[in-house]
Structure 1
């Protein structure tokens, strides 16, 4: 027996049971009920039965009252059978309870989450612990089939199974075989004589199968998507003046195997209409001539519903920014079909001017209200401004404390001229204490202890303490910044750090010398506008540079000698020439004081500097973690002040631009330029000249430029991917098989990156395709476009709970024979 047959039988039995009582009631004459007794109860109490039973002691029970009472008990849904019997003057109610649901199990569902399905089942009473009604199970089956059909899955099979258990319980299993979604094989527009079908359907969500369908799933049929596309079809023609356009009919056919869908839409284009007149009426609040300037259509233009709607929205937004939150603009058309013209009257209804009564925050369990309130550009007691609300949302998103920010503006009950502003946020972990391991391909294993908090104790202050170690450096840093040191947003902070670089590791692709850097600085930031700010810092650095005559490139050592003077070599030691244990090593020849000291290969320079930095930045990006829109510009200058051991400067420019090409596709373009040089006393010093291979050029000298330990480097996961880190640019050649990059004073790097923001559900995960370019040069004069390194590839970025992870695969497109290629690159965990 099939499942539908079983259900029909159950329904028939239930109806028969409902009629059984009245049929039996014919066997007794009307009588006065002296008492009522209920039999057959297991889980349900007798009090529940008496609550629903419309018969009490002392009532006269006849055939009609008996039938009515039985129906009332059946309506409760608790019973599968109800019978009335008479024993003397006692009414005996015999019931058979429906079983209780023990468990509900769903299998095979992928398109619809189990949690969503269970919540839907609960809404119709099909949940664990409730009374089981077979009719509810049939309703669930039909609803699931409908939902899957709406997703284009017409081969879906829903098989419910009911298993009887002891103690009048049942287990319910709903097995779902989703099948594959039906694919759109053909979309046919009939009646389009003016425009090509490909142009009309360019923005449709529904499409036939193509090479991007695996990602966009646009070839999967959906009734909702098709309805939206037909609306876009109407808009397409209305935006081009076809006022009488109409979709006359739509046919959707499915193949016998329910795998292919064929869509046909019959349309009537009509004629093109022009605008005969435009006027603005109603209460414009602002001077009418100012509102008329906002009208984007004029007499003689081709009719366009899109431009008309944009005009209405522009006027509404303008009024909304001065407090008229509920303003409406209704464009009233006057159509002359003989002349093919439309007259427009924009009727303005501003509604009441609205004040903001209260601003409240929800979801911020850690962040203090004050931290969020100071980012708000809409204020309590002020006139409502939609622009201020939108700007407040962006500022909150850019804090980096929240996963989501949503702002609602509900009306105040009984006060049509007031609204509340409710900010709902979902906090992310803005602090981190990490003791663990990371890995970066170029630098190897990174061990770190890190305590960082960008929202320290919910105050918005930034705090960091870190100790880190990898194959070529040991670092310590400690700092804190108060972003609102003053009420108007002036920030103040400090940073102390110590780093010991050991560049003897050839895998790092850095010039080989040791540099222990101790530094401290005070930071100051001053906001200028909503997007512009300037920053300054004053710090002191101490660079302790140790060179090795055997490994450090000679041009680096010569720079220090020429600019600062030579330093004594160490260690100093005597050589045991005679290898005689009885002879002191410092007096091998028997004549005291005549054995010379041998000098070691190391020399050490201490370079002290007072460093002043200043920068201007404009940041209009819409998000802190994964921006999709906006611009970022930064110009920064660093100058080591006169009186320092070396006097030099560096200037940097950074640029980023984000925009969405489609909801599923974004583009990032970025560029970075850097230039540095010496000045003052250091510039006046004369340094030896080396060629591109690191060999000295006899008889030539030049000004001493940017110190080599402040050179720029290019290559690797954070600049031009596909090349080993720091490997691009000038180098010193020890031999044909070993070159040591030494960096340069002029850097140019950039990228174009297509990213897919909706490919993953996780907001912190992004897949992208990129094109990188860049190089570093000894000076600006050395720059040539043909020397730029080019690469292209794919990248995956993931903000994992353990830190950011980035994996990229790049193919170098333009490179030199000696370049060090590294196609697969990845970083795990943060670096300082």
Structure 2
């Protein structure tokens, strides 16, 4: 109405101004009132020139054209002799536009809207444009369900005919759904129908959730889910007659009413397959999951279409169309279905293009592709290629598109778009673990060395338990067939006592190489050969005479290490039975060979939601080593997506080891002479002499990354002072239910409910299920910049007197 009134007044003004000028021949034109706009701009828009006859008609036309430029808020014509005088008053220029109060919509997005409408710095100010912007911003917030939004525009006049525009936004809260009423549903309850709704009433305990927030898009999607709910259960004539949405007086509460007509239940009469059947009809029929005699289900029909389309896409028919044609017999309440198959032309891949890999070489991505150039299109090969790339640690996201090649109907390109994450790091930092205490680390790690996909690393760390230096190298594609090769060198000093293990320290240096061979897309075989030299500092010092005179008097004493009382580990090293632990008895050379099989079908390397990961490893000390032994271990985990972002997983961990030399048979070591441990641990866990697998290769249990709720490495066999000594046989497992992160969604954050169980036994013959310890609780894992932060709160069960339990456990930081 205001704009219409302004237009009428402008027309009257033009008429009066034009009518006030008598017709004459224009000898010259002069413009007055200009400040920023040049005369040349006026002449470009002016439909008059020197020598023209000025009439009321073309005078009105001239004024109209100058108004249309939007540069002026007043235009008038005057005459001085035969000179046409154009008097103008320019609109002010916008000197500055400020935004405040916006949080839900980023400033970049709002400024893009402002630019599209025509309100930006340097532009001519127009009040109507400002009003239109205000309406558009309100519309943007309404789309988010913020109906209490208020957009206040303030214009301040400045010198030199300029203005400052301030846009102050009070976003308000998102309106929440307070009530949903479905009218007309007689067969199903509101609760059943609304289970899959995205816009639903938020439970009071989900205070962090956006579940109850309203938006038109959510409501539209939920109405389609409502329709699908009935169509999937045979209600072919189901109809939503109307949907009403009302807003409370404070614009914070939403009330929704949907009026529905259910209709009757229909069954399936006949199922046919017609069209160009490039695959045997019998094969296609096995892909159809809806059968005659069943209740009609649109979901089953759509799944059947997807099954047929998928198998056609895997043999090159990328643009296959399967159209389910239904014939509804309302008299008998039956539906006949005809799946009409139009495979289209068989398509092959012209070119594979990679985008976004500024650091990573094309060949690194290309070797992960299972879809080849020049080959027939295969959707399964493309999907598998995407999963393989997502499992690489140096890509944040991987997207694949298959656009048709222009001008052809049988070719497509594959465009792979990746977002790279930093693959290299130089870190000097601190961490803390309840077991290791303060951890100081220096690490240089490059998982994608010069874009080749090779891994190179140098790590130095120090804590009260372990000090280590590591150098690693791995080439995952040593050969074009995918055979990997790696090398490592390591030196470490380990204080077992600080790790809750029977008191001894060790120093070790090692080097080796390994190879990996892919067997299938998800199966991998690895083998490694290495050498280790370990020296143990174990036992207690005792003075002994090193030199006697002729009369048997001691001339010189020396310190020697002897087995510690009550320590079965040091006792087992006294192989010659002389009561002294010589340097030769405390030094071990190991020629280590390992063979492992792994299977990894997880959809993401960090936080998987489906798939499994399994590893079976055989490690053995070859003949020629100081001790000959073997270790067999298995680790496995399986993930299932359940509902609404919940992921259920189970895991298992088994370990067993033994010696195959004659050390135990030939040893003269004496078991400790203690029947009851000095402490409150279980007497049945007392180990009197370590046999079988050497104790420096034992398995251990307990801790935040193993069996939560128990102190690290404290479960299992004990020495005479109830200190853990580990064992030859380990059993562990658990279940987890991963919950969607309430406050911050991200691939690096994970919250889970867990149940853990496990124990370590002296040997496999000592296994007793009743000794298995357990715990349940809540864990939080966050991949922070300083390394993984792990926090768990556990409630142990089946714990026994003497067990060292911990309800709250955590660690942060990382070491090599």
Q: Same fold (TM over 0.5)?
A: yes
Structure 1 residue 629 corresponds to structure 2 residue 639? no
Cα displacement string for residues 654-700 of structure 1 (whole angstroms, at most 9, x for unaligned residues): 11122322343223322222122222323535565566848999xx9
| 229-238 or 814-823, which deviates more | 814-823
Aligned-partner SS, 1:488? coil
Aligned residue for 2:460? 467
Structure 2, unaligned runs of 5 or more = 542-563
DSSP-derived class of the 1:618 partner: strand
Q: Cα offset for 1:100?
A: 3.1
Cα distance in 2 for partners of 1:110, 1:728 equals 52
2:723 paired residue number: 740
* Aligned equivalent of 1:822: 806
> Is 1:136–2:129 an aligned residue pair?
yes
Write the distance in 2 (CA, Å) between the matches of 1:51 and 1:379: 60
Shift of the 256–435 alpha-carbon distance from structure 1 to 2, 3 Å rule, reads closer
1:631/1:73 CA distance change after superposition, 3 Å: farther
Q: CA deviation at 1:401?
A: 1.1
How many pairs does the alignment contain? 786
Counterpart of 1:651 in structure 2 is 632
Q: Which aligned pairs between 1:36-115 and structure 2 lie closer than 5 A?
A: 36-115=29-108
Tell me whether 1:526 sits opposite 2:517 in the alignment: yes
The residue number in structure 1 matching 2:560 is none
Q: Deviations over 1:442-462 (max 9, x none)?
A: 212222221111111100111
Q: CA deviation at 1:703?
A: 8.0
Aligned equivalent of 1:725, options 712, 716, 726: 712
Q: Distance between the aligned counterparts of 1:823 and 1:389, measured in 2?
A: 46
Q: Does 1:780 align with 2:764?
A: yes
- Which residue does the alignment assign to 1:31? 24
Equivalent residues in 2 for 1:377-416 (5 A)?
377-416=370-409
1:275-322 Cα distance to aligned partner (Å, 9 max, x none): 111111111222333323322222212111111111111111111111
Aligned match of 1:589: none
Q: In 2 relative to 1, CA 36–339 (structure 1 residues): closer, same or farther, beyond 3 Å?
A: same
Superposed, 1:144-293 pairs within 5 Å as: 144-211=137-204, 213-293=206-286
- Find the counterpart in structure 1 of residue 595 from structure 2: 614
Q: Distance in 2 between matches of 1:18 and 1:553?
A: 110
1:175 aligned counterpart, secondary structure? strand
Change (3 A) 1:793 1:94: farther
State the Cα distance separating 1:272 from its structure 2 match. 1.1
Change (3 A) 1:651 1:480: same
Q: Deviations over 1:130-151 (max 9, x none)?
A: 3332223222322332333333
Instruction: Report the Cα offset of residue 618 of structure 1.
Output: 0.8
- Alpha-carbon distance in structure 2 between the residues aligned to 1:635 and 1:821: 30
TM-score by length of 2: 0.91
Offset at residue 467 of structure 1 (A): 1.4
Residue from 773, 779, 785 that aligns with 1:795? 779
* Structure 2 match to 1:554: 567
How many angstroms apart in 2 are the aligned matches of 1:449 and 1:820? 32
Alpha-carbon distance in 2 for matches of 1:632, 1:381: 33
Q: Alpha carbons of 1:769 and 1:77: their partners in 2 closer, same or farther (altered >3 Å)?
A: farther
751-760 or 427-436, which deviates more? 751-760
In the TM superposition, residue 104 of structure 1 has moved relative to its aligned partner by 3.0
* 1:810–1:111 distance in 2 versus 1, CA, 3 Å: farther
**Mean alpha-carbon deviation: is it higher for 389-398 or for 28-37?**
28-37
Higher alpha-carbon deviation: 369-378 or 349-358: 349-358
Shift of 1:399: 0.9
CA 1:771/1:163 → structure 2, altered by over 3 Å: closer, same or farther? farther
Return closer, same or farther for 1:704/1:70 CA change in 2, 3 Å cut-off.
Answer: same
Alignment deviations for residues 496-542 of structure 1 (CA, whole Å, 9 cap, x no partner): 1111113343xx31222111111111111000111111111111111
1:716 corresponds to which of 699, 703, 713: 703
1:257 Cα deviation from its structure 2 partner? 2.9
Match of 2:477 in 1: 484
Query: Once the two structures are superposed, what CA deviation does each residue of 1:251-289 show, in whole Å capped at 9, x if it has no partner?
Result: 222333333222221211111111111111111222333
- Residues of 1 paired with 2:787 and 2:40: CA distance? 60
Distance 1:569 1:708 in 2: 15
Which is worse superposed, 510-519 or 674-683?
A: 674-683
CA distance in 2, matches of 1:365, 1:552: 63
Aligned-pair CA distance for 1:77: 3.0
Q: How far apart are the structure 2 equivalents of 1:442 and 1:69?
A: 87
In structure 2, what is the Cα distance between the partners aligned to 1:808 and 1:36? 85
Shift of 1:87: 3.1
Q: 1:21 to 1:485 in 2, by over 3 A?
A: same
Cα 1:496–1:694 change in 2 (3 A) is: farther
RMSD: 2.7
The answer to whether the 8 A contact 2:786-2:814 is kept is no
Whether the 8 Å contact between 1:666 and 1:756 is mirrored in structure 2 is yes
Q: What secondary structure does 2:468 align onto?
A: strand
User: 1:496/1:25 Cα in 2 relative to 1: closer, same or farther (>3 Å)?
Assistant: same
Provide, for residues 104-147 of structure 1, a one-character-per-residue CA deviation record: whole Å limited to 9, x for no partner. 33323232223322222222222333333222322232233233
Rounded to whole Å, the distance in 1 between the matches of 2:604 and 2:362 is: 20
5+ residue gaps, structure 1, are 1-7, 571-601
How far apart in 1 are the matches of 2:26 and 2:454? 79
- Return the alpha-carbon distance in structure 2 between the equivalents of residues 693 and 80 of structure 1: 100
> Does 1:499 find its partner at 2:492?
yes
Q: Separation in 1 of the partners of 2:733 and 2:159? A: 71
CA deviation after TM superposition for structure 1 residue 648, in Å: 1.4
Q: Determine helix, strand or coil for the equivalent of 1:395.
A: helix
The structure 2 residue matched to 1:510, chosen from 491, 501, 506, is: 501
CA distance in 2, matches of 1:82, 1:767: 68
Distance 1:97 1:614 in 2: 84
Q: Quote how far apart the aligned CAs of 1:412 are.
A: 1.4
Equivalent residue, structure 1, for 2:694 = 707
Partner of 1:585: none
Relative to structure 1, the CA distance from residue 541 to residue 106 in structure 2 (aligned partners, 3 Å threshold; closer, same or farther) is: same
Q: Which range moves more in the overlay, 372-381 or 167-176? A: 167-176
Change (3 A) 1:40 1:800: farther
Q: Distance in 2 between matches of 1:502 and 1:205?
A: 54
* CA 1:784–1:229: 2 relative to 1, 3 Å: farther
Mapped partners of 1:412, 1:730: distance in 2: 68
